[in-house]
């Protein structure tokens, strides 16, 4: 008997996480449907190798009946939500829009799934920012939440609604509490990509310096491809649960610079300059994950370490610029 190809819907399909997940699902013989705001713009954003493999459909994120029609039409097995206003420097910008997209839109998705087919499995890309000013470090699934920005607050609202829909309606809905995850596909407004891109420009003689804020700021950085694999694993489990997905280690921006510059045979001290306008004070408590639950229950382990990740990002930017 011919086995039907499973269908997965992804919002935010043209972003870093959406692209890596699409490749993973296509390798596992899924049909991938990307929900976007504008099909023509999204097509241009997709890598050439994925343009014919992903079916794109438009959705106004305020329109629940439209999403219900989309879900009825495609009958997906899985639904991944990566659509969100960005974190990083934009966590305080346009607070009402952040609330709508990062928070209320998730409830609209859950309501559409509940209306059409409660067997659809849903995964939300949540964030370590729901812990915010945590009094506990490292943070696990049982750590109290204390968001410090509109971004974190909206993500926490979505996280709580997933819990409610899971308990009240029996949906297979879960949150992946993701710590910082990077790749050559990261946007230039994130510090990791800003550094890798500028290092490549300096190496190629296209720039002479790199301006940064607090070099002592520390983050728990991992590889985006590893993190989307964890999300896929979450939806293959017998029961829906939330998981912290992290490297469980922190590195400073200074370490990141040292690693990136040394990868191309340069000393970061010769090129990095202070930018007082970008300076952020060091947090009293570090956002660093404790992903033991994911490692034990999912059997998940990150494959790409910090130094290999930074080197790959620099290499990709060298290739891009050259």
Between the two ends of the chain, the Cα-to-Cα distance in Å is 51
Pairing of strands 243-245, 172-178: parallel
Identify whether 271 is a catalytic site residue: no
Q: Active site residue: 22, 87, 126, 127, which one?
A: 127
257 with 202: CB under 8 angstroms?
no
Instruction: Please name the residue ranges forming H helices in the chain.
Output: 16-27, 39-45, 48-51, 64-74, 95-98, 105-116, 150-169, 191-203, 224-234, 253-263, 292-293, 306-321
Q: Active site residue: 85, 151, 165, 179, which one?
A: 151
Pairing of strands 272-274, 172-178: unpaired
Residues forming a β-bridge with 97: none
Q: Active site residue: 129, 182, 255, 258, which one?
A: 129
Identify whether 129 is a catalytic site residue: yes
Identify whether 127 is a catalytic site residue: yes
For residue 219, give both structure tokens.
């983050």
Which residues are catalytic, by number? 127, 129, 151
């Amino acid at each position: 008997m011919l086995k039907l190809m499973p269908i997965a819907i992804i919002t935010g399909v043209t972003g870093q996480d959406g692209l890596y997940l699409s490749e993973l699902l296509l390798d596992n013989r899924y049909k991938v449907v990307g929900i976007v705001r504008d099909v023509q713009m999204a097509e241009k954003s997709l890598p050439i190798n994925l343009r014919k493999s992903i079916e794109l459909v438009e959705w106004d994120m305020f329109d629940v009946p439209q999403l219900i029609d989309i879900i009825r039409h495609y009958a997906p097995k899985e639904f991944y939500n990566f659509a969100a206003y960005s974190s990083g420097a934009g966590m305080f910008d346009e607070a009402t829009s952040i609330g709508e997209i990062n928070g209320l839109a998730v409830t609209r998705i859950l309501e559409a799934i509940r209306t059409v087919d409660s067997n659809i499995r849903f995964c939300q890309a949540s964030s370590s920012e729901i812990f915010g000013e945590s009094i506990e470090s490292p943070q696990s699934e049982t750590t109290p939440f204390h968001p410090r920005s509109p971004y974190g607050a909206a993500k926490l609202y979505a996280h709580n609604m997933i819990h409610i829909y899971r308990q009240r309606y029996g949906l297979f809905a879960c949150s992946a509490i993701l710590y910082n995850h990077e790749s050559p596909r990261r946007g230039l407004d994130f510090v990791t990509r800003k550094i890798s891109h500028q290092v490549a420009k300096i190496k190629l003689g296209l720039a002479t310096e790199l301006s940064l804020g607090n070099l002592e700021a520390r983050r728990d950085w991992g590889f985006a491809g590893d993190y989307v694999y964890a999300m896929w694993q979450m939806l293959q489990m017998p029961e829906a649960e939330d998981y912290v997905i992290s490297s469980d280690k922190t590195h400073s921006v200074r370490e990141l610079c040292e690693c990136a510059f040394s990868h191309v045979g340069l000393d970061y001290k010769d090129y990095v300059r202070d930018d007082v306008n970008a300076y952020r004070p060091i947090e009293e408590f570090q956002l660093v994950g404790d992903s033991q639950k994911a490692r034990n229950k999912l059997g998940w382990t990150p494959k790409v370490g910090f130094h290999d990740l930074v080197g790959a990002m620099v290499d990709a930017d060298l290739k891009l610029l050259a």
